[in-house]
Structure 1
Amino acid sequence: PNAIEDAIVATRSLAFRYLWVGRYCIPRDGAERHAQISNMDVIHAHAQVTLVAAAGEDADYGLPGVGSRFRFVQPHAEIMNEMVVSTLPHIKEALKDSRWMKRAWTYQEALLSRRLLIFTDHQVFYECRGTNCCESVEKPLQSLHTKDGQRLREFGEERLFPHNGLGKYPWDVATRIAEYSARTLSYDSDALEAMLGIFSAFTQRQDPGVPIVTTAKSLAYRSDSWRRWSTKSRGAQFATGLCWSHAAPARRRQGFPSWSWTGWVG
């Protein structure tokens, strides 16, 4: 597909040797499939950069600006000998209706990757845990860093994804589940698989009780409360994990228990 051909060109242009493509590197079934899907957090976290095909409806659309797919012309006008150009749509505006933002499988890709290079019909966006930028607005690297050059400045710009990635606390997994559940799956049977990488990352970084820990606001940002909570029995954690609900009526998803969030679409 054009997206893969263009990704090969982009990989070589970035001076990298290897390209990992999910549709080819993950088997359709068997033990190896489950092993790789369960380790998506490791795969994305160790990649130098994730190339995001955010334009078009399928892989045949390609990466605009790389291969045969042209990008939209940047609006501009000359006024009194001065050239005025558009900064183009903000990243959230450019992606809000994209198929990539609606697919459940791409949620892990976005949240677990260290760096994202996002190809849209307008321009390329770059986002990592430290900063975000785009082609239409030039930010010299020196100005992006603090005076001592040890870290990136906070420009207060709205990002596509939060700075802290998965979140800082165990109960942040509830927010991740809610965001994931709002996306669509081609096959209901993939409901849990498409989230396993995020659960794996939470389990490694947080309490083993994840993802059935409390989301009570009273515990947020209070380490003493969290210490008391973590000493409770697994049974209590499991019971609290059942205390979820939908904001609106949801469709029943077959193959999963009704008491689990995986059992419902919405």
Structure 2
Amino acid sequence: MAELCSFCQSITVADLRCSFCNLLWHALVDTCAEKSIETHLQGRVHGREDDADTAIRLRGEFHDWVKPVPENGIQNSLIWIFSGRSYEEGLEHGREIAPYPSCTMAISAMKTWVSRCQSHHSCGAGSDVNLPTRVIDLKPMDEGRNPLLFETAGQRGVYIALSYCWGDYQEFKITNSNYHEFRTNGIEHSKLAQTLKDAIQVTRLLGVRYIWIDAICIIQSIEGQSEIGNEDFNRECLRMQDYYGNSSLTILAGSASDCNHGFLEARRGGLQNALPSVPFEYTRHDGIKAGHIYAELYSSYQVGPLERRAWTLQEDILSPRLLIFGKDQMGYKCGMGEVWEDGTSNLAKWDGKGLFDISPRMILAVNTSITDGRARDRMLRQWYPMLQKYTRRQRSNPYDKLTAIAGIAQRAHQLIGGRYLFGLWETDIIRGLLWRSGWLPGDPDPPLPLNRVDAFKAPSWSWASTEGPIFCQYTTERQERTYLCSAKIRANFLSCCDGFDNHFDPIRGGVSLDSFRLRIRGTIKAVQCAVGTVLPLTDKRKRKTYYKCRDRMINLVPDELGNSCSTSPLGTIAVALTDTPIDHTEGYWCLRLITEEGLLLKHLKISEYKRVGVFLVSDIEWFDREKPEIIELL
């Protein structure tokens, strides 16, 4: 309990002496009926079976508006005081956050969430599914018995999956040398990394027999083994959409930065523990004391280090239900929405057309028999922002570039259709080709540059050929109508990989790059790089994301006649943003894809080119003077 000075002890909600606190309290009272406040204080929340404590827990937050800093240098701010944080129901009954996830209070909360989801939600888990190739068998539920690696051979059942950070090195894992021992003698519990031990403990607490953990259930490569020579790894990694998608629940060990840290005994750090909640007595208008109002520090919904790992993005999105052990508190997400330990809830909204419009998880959860244009367009609008997130996450192995996102691609393909070509969709190839280096809020300033991948070969037109954060344009319905209508398109995709079926992991699959030649018909124009100040951009939406990468921007002028051929200021016919640094003394070529944008290319031989960047058109008339021709993009 917090210790209060004599003045603070005398403060009551009914007669606050601080004008600011009085203003905040009356704002809450004015918003919520007294009966509603009393109901919460008495622990009676209409329509809910809640295990929350009987206090409304007020939280104050500071938020910077997402807008440029004004000339005086002072940021606008907003302070919110409320009970819980419900996006649906106004006043939400708050909960006290447990000091650490393994305490009785936290265990009770996680069991309640899972039970309620199974019994009340349409997404309820519990039905038998095809088990993964291997699972860890925890039966009987006895702490004294070593878990056993179990080959399922098509057996059905219920299992939990784990999403976690490996860290620099996972010492205890399955390889060809210990595979037989794990199956016959079991897995020595004491040798497991702490995060794996914690996941097994949670699985047992929830009464589930099987758990799937990648380090134990997929045969891992050993030092000296070829990165693409591990057949079991290559095969199992393409089943992530099933392994996470069919799991009864996925445990997100968000607070653990590596597999040795664990997540159950991790105390919530920072000021939340250093400064306890402060109670204020609540007295009704008639003088009756009804309870206490607690003022306490805000607890974030940040998952933790797990959000920085590339592999865990698809593990999150593909899982129908998540039990989150986050940085400050636990949470639970399912197809109906989410709930957090502090009492915050958010029920998923339908858009009135029978499709979720909230996140890739919701769209992927829709009945995959829906194959009309609405489902396809909506999935694509989520695909490109998801790529931006993915390329900003970390991977320790460059060969995992497409592997770690293959599960999402497989599931998205059921709605998008067409072929998946090295990270791009054949049915949306023009938009897909316009990826570029760029800046998003939260990125370093200036943004990290792109680098071409040396570990393996990928076609230059694919974002998978680069390492670093990419930017994708045209992710809203309005932008699609404005920029990607047929009247705006200036190039036609002819073919790629004739006779080639979908391959969601061509890097590890060892597919020949000769199969990935894009044949395109469009206007191709020779240009030179011009030294000098970059021409100002007229498109406000692109100006900021381009200018953050100013070190890779360059003016382009006609190759054959120089400035005399152009009607644009300074003779510039386009402004380019290169993927990586280029030699400004060499000649390049512009392939316009839509009216205002296209690809900057380097000529290889005859009709073969490779991508080196993108460009914005400054002189449309100059580009319209030539007839289209067919090229091959490597």
Counterpart residue identity of residue 51, structure 1: I
Residues 39/153 of structure 1: CA separation in 2 closer, same or farther (3 Å cut)? closer
Residues 243 and 121 of structure 1, relative CA distance in 2, 3 Å threshold: closer
Query: Are residues 175 and 48 of structure 1, via their aligned partners in 2, closer, same or farther at CA, if it must alter by over 3 Å?
Result: same
Q: Is the 8 A contact 1:51 1:118 kept in 2?
A: yes
Give the helix-richer structure, 1 or 2.
1
Larger Rg computed on CA atoms:
2
Instruction: Check whether the contact 2:331–2:341 (CA below 8 A) recurs between aligned residues.
Output: yes
Q: Where does residue 362 of structure 2 map in the other structure?
A: 164
Structure 2 CA distance for partners of 1:263 and 1:107, relative to 1, 3 Å: same
Name the CA distance, whole Å, in 2 between partners of 1:165 and 1:85. 38
Matches within 5 A, 1:97-112: 98-112=304-318
Q: Which residue of 2 aligns with 1:79?
A: 280
Check conservation: 1:130, 1:163, Cα contact below 8 A: no
Q: Could you give the per-residue CA deviations for residues 87-129 of structure 1, whole angstroms, max 9, x where no partner exists?
A: 74231xx23xx32111101011111000111102422111122
Describe how 1:86-97 pairs up with structure 2 within 5 A. Answer: 86=296, 88-91=298-301, 94-95=302-303
Letter in 2 for 1:17: R
2:133 corresponds to: none
Maintained 8 Å contact 1:2/1:60 = yes
Higher mean C-alpha deviation, range 21-30 or range 237-246: 237-246
Q: Which residue of 2 aligns with 1:261?
A: 463
Cα pair distance change 1:88/1:21, threshold 3 Å? farther
Of the structure 1 ranges 79-88 and 114-123, higher mean CA displacement relative to structure 2 is found in: 79-88
Cα 1:63–1:165 shift into 2, 3 Å: farther
CA contact (8 A) 1:78 1:84 kept: yes
TM-score normalised to structure 2 length: 0.33
Q: 1:5 to 1:88 in 2, by over 3 A?
A: farther
Please name the residue that 2:604 is paired with.
Answer: none
Equivalent residues of 1:88, 1:122 under 8 A apart: no
CA distance 1:138–1:164, change in 2 (3 Å):
closer
C-alpha deviation, 1:190, in angstroms: 1.2
Distance apart, 1:136 and its partner CA: 1.6
The within-5 A match list for 1:16-95 is: 16-29=208-221, 30-64=230-264, 68-72=265-269, 73=273, 75-80=276-281, 82-86=292-296, 88-91=298-301, 94-95=302-303
Which AA in structure 1 matches 2:200? I
Gaps of 5+ in 1: 145-151, 214-233
Identity of aligned residues (%): 25
* Among candidates 425, 433, 436, match of residue 245 of structure 1: 436
Q: 1:212 is aligned with what amino acid?
A: L
Q: Which amino acid in structure 1 is aligned with residue 413 of structure 2?
A: T
| Structure-1 separation of matches of 2:243 and 2:312 | 14
Gaps of 5+ in 2: 1-192, 222-229, 282-290, 351-357, 366-374, 440-448, 470-634
Q: 34-43 or 78-87, which moves further after superposition?
A: 78-87
Match of 1:113 in 2: 319
CA gap of 1:185–1:129, structure 2 versus 1, over 3 A, is same
In 1, are the aligned partners of 2:278 and 2:296 still within 8 Å (CA)? no
Q: Name the residue aligned to 2:199.
A: 7
Alpha-carbon offset, residue 59 of structure 1: 1.4
Relative contact order, higher structure (CA 8 A, sep 6+): 1
Q: Which residue of 2 aligns with 1:216?
A: none
Change (3 A) 1:251 1:62: same
Deviation at 1:35, TM superposition (A): 1.5
Distance 1:237 1:78 in 2: 57
TM-score (norm. length: structure 1): 0.73
Question: Are the counterparts in 2 of residues 63 and 119 from structure 1 also a CA contact under 8 Å?
Answer: yes
Amino acid at match of 1:78: P
Measure the CA separation in 1 of the matches of 2:361 and 2:432: 26
Change (3 A) 1:154 1:165: closer
Provide the rounded CA distance (Å) in 2 between the counterparts of 1:180 and 1:244: 13
Quote the residue 2:393 is aligned against.
183
Offset at 1:85? 4.9
